[in-house]
Amino acid sequence: MNQLDTNREQWNTRLGFILAAMGSAVGLGNIWRFSYVTGENGGAAFLLIYVLCIILIGIPILMAEFTIGRKAQSDVVGSFNKLAPGKPWVVAGILGVASAFIILSFYAVIAGWSVFYFIQYLIGGFRTTHADGYGGFFGEFISSPIQPLFWQFLFMAMTVGIVYVGVKKGIEKSNRILMPLLAILVIGLSIYSMTLGGASEALSFLFTPDWSALTNGEVYLAALGQAFFSLSLGMGALITYGSYLSKKESLPGAAVSVATLDTAFAIIAGLMIFPAVFAFGIAPDSGPGLVFVTLPGIFENIGGFGQVFGLLFFFLLSAAALSSAVSLLEVAVAYFIRKFDWTRKKAAIIVGAIIFVLGIPSSLGNGPLNDISIFGLEILDAADFLASNIFLPLGGLIIALFIGWGWKKADALEASDFGNTGIGNAWVFVLKWVAPVLIFIVFLASTGLLDVILGWFGVES
């Protein structure tokens, strides 16, 4: 063990750790990404696959990340090197650091939009309605070459600021108040949104599956990617957070609480967005701008106090995004601190600056770089697709296989706090077989290869 490892900081309390993990999980993924991806993939059938992904794959891998992190007490790469020296499992760590760079690069762009909206409400900008409505307002904002960059920069600077001070001082406390407030606001707004006239359409969109959507393999990949993204899974964010945990805590309860809260947040956010989407006649599949066009309409409908709710909402959304962004940056920073012996301050600033620069093309993709498309997607969407739908599930696959096959079962059971119990054995079994096979099938299905293989056996999908 080198000296840095013995000097690593620790969460103050078990609650502090759970709050930090929740702060990482709950963010733009639950509100911005969940609603637009659900809208694009047809609603209820997608939602069902998403929840199955959370239960069968997400929670077991969440437990796996906590277990690896607490056992190894190191960053993503260091954890694999320590637990399995010289073995190829460390690929998951390297992939994780790469994913942190990519995800935070575009995450900061969207978070910047949220901060911009907050400021608009603060200065009363939304009271003067744009000639083409909120869609026009939003479109004009994101296509400007400078404005989104400025807010992205500001958001990255705040993220760096928190990581610079240290995870414990920086985030352990801030979420204690802000997250419950966001929850109350989202619940209140979803009840209000139901009164706008789109409730029955929204409920059937979200809860009455159109099974024909399930013949499209890409829906499964979208659901899997969303599950990983929303739970902050597959790139070691929770390995890193687990590594700041002392040996005393009990992990399974923490994993289930984080996943339950995160999923409830997403579904309630859906109940807030979709009734309004249908009431205002917005297309559910209108893409990443969905919440930025829908929410201001809700606030306007509320009338006088609506502006205050708008201000509060975008403030809390930005704060939730900040605690998620911190966990992304921390993955890379923890790695650079150990690997290159940098101080925390130096690592936070350098890595943060690189990620800001990496995010510039995503920001400009709606403006000056509008014509560029990668795999038929805009730059930001392409970065999101690559990291969320490919890298995260791949990282998760390796993490599952590592516990299932790379560790002795008795060691895994002990390190996880499950002990030799039925549920512990079920957990190892899921990581060994169920999750890897499912992830593999989803990858196959999304490439269309599954159809080809099923065709050999005479099965038509």
Shortest Cβ 331–ligand TRP spacing (Å): 7
Nearest distance in Å: CB 239, ligand TRP: 10
- Long-range contacts of residues 336-344, Cβ cutoff 8 Å, at least 24 apart: 337/4, 337/75, 338/2, 338/4, 338/5, 338/74, 338/75, 338/78, 339/77, 339/78, 341/4, 344/163, 344/164, 344/166
Among all residues, whose Cβ is closest to ligand TRP? 29
Task: Indicate whether 391 belongs to the interface with ligand TRP (CB under 6 A).
Answer: no
Segment near ligand TRP (CB under 6 A), from 81-89, 199-207, 210-218, 226-234? 226-234
**Residues touching ligand TRP: how many (CB under 6 A)?**
16
Q: Is residue 35 near ligand TRP by the rule CB under 6 A? A: no
DSSP-assigned beta bridge partners for residue 377: 374
Taking residue 407's Cβ as centre, other Cβ atoms within 10 Å add up to 22
Q: Which of 19, 20, 22, 25 binds ligand TRP (CB under 6 A)?
A: 25
Q: CA 364, CA 380: separation in Å to the nearest integer?
A: 9
Select from 324, 362, 389, 446 the one that contacts ligand TRP (CB under 6 A).
324
Neighbours of 84 (CB within 10 A): 15
- Determine, following the binding rule CB under 6 A, whether residue 198 of this chain makes contact with ligand TRP: no
Contact 41, 213 (CB under 8 A): yes
Q: Per-residue contact track with ligand TRP, 326 to 345, x per CB under 6 A?
A: -xx-----------------
Contacts of 261 (CB under 8 A, 6+ apart): 22, 25, 26
Q: Does 363 bind ligand TRP (CB under 6 A)?
A: no
Which residue stretch of 27-35, 156-164, 174-182, 269-277 sits at the interface with ligand TRP (rule: CB under 6 A)? 27-35
Distance CA 104, CA 323 (A): 12
Should residue 30 be labelled a site residue for ligand TRP when binding is judged by CB under 6 A?
yes
Sign for the pseudo-dihedral over CA of 209, 210, 211, 215: negative
Residues 235-254 contacting ligand TRP, CB under 6 A: 235, 237
Output DSSP code: residue 130: -
Burial of residue 38, with CB atoms counted within 10 A of its CB: 0-12 exposed, 13-18 middle, 19 or more buried? buried
Contact residue for ligand TRP among 35, 232, 389, 446 (CB under 6 A): 232
Closest to ligand TRP by CB, 279 or 295: 295
- Choose between 103 and 334: whose C-beta lies nearer to ligand TRP: 103
- Nearest distance, CB of residue 120 and ligand TRP, angstroms: 22
Phi and psi at residue 376, to the nearest 5°: 75, 10
Stretch of 19-27, 150-158, 273-281, 372-380 contacting ligand TRP, by CB under 6 A: 19-27
Residues that bind ligand TRP (CB under 6 A): 24-25, 27-30, 103, 229-230, 232, 235, 237, 324, 327-328, 392
